[in-house]
Amino acid sequence: MNKLKQILFICHGNICRSPMAESVFMHLVKARGLEHEVTAASAAAHTDEIGNPPHRGTREKLKEVGIPLIPHRARLLTREDGEKYDLLIGMDEYNRRDILRIVGAEKACKVKCLLDFSARPRAIADPWYTGNFDETYRDVVEGCTALLDSLFPDRRGR
């Protein structure tokens, strides 16, 4: 039996992009029947929002598209997360650098940016600043789909 793959999504405050990615990813996982093979969670690279629920824009966007929001309160990424999780997925280069600072450079092989898995690698803009949760959602879906396809190439789009 394969070991359960554990993915941790990380953004600056863990209230916009990373909880959106966690919810979208797990929605895709369930749609493909992979919930016994992979799981996800999310965390913050900074302490600004610790304990807060997901941003209203994230909650509203997920509700609009019919994706259940995974119950969540922002929590800080820890060094131990570098041991526990198989992949640590940031939303942009700043997140990637923060992740390495927290978990240690020796975990660099586990640290990626979400859209690195897509055909068009780029940062996912932070809707905290842009206010554009629609664009963030499209990028998150693209990245989560590409990530899932890379983890399970024989079960693409099922």
Question: Would you state the pLDDT for residue 80?
Answer: 98
Flag whether pLDDT at 158 surpasses 90.
no
Strands 5-11 and 111-113: unpaired
Three-state DSSP class for residue 33: coil
What is the band of 37 on the pLDDT scale with cuts at 50, 70, 90? very high
Kindly report the pTM of this predicted structure: 0.96
* Tens digits of residue pLDDT in 43-84: 999 999 999 999 999 999 999 999 999 999 999 999 999 999
Domain 5-155 in this protein, CATH class: alpha beta
Q: Is 89 exposed, middle or buried (0-12, 13-18, 19+ CB in 10 A)?
A: buried
Residue 157 has pLDDT above 90, yes or no: no
Helices (H) and strands (E) in the chain, counts: 6, 4
Report, as residue numbers or ranges, the catalytic residues: 11, 17, 126
Q: pLDDT per residue over 79-126, tens digit each?
A: 999 999 999 999 999 999 999 999 999 999 999 999 999 999 999 999
pLDDT confidence of residue 1: 46
Calculate the average pLDDT of the chain.
Answer: 95
Q: Are strands 38-44 and 5-11 parallel, antiparallel or unpaired?
A: parallel
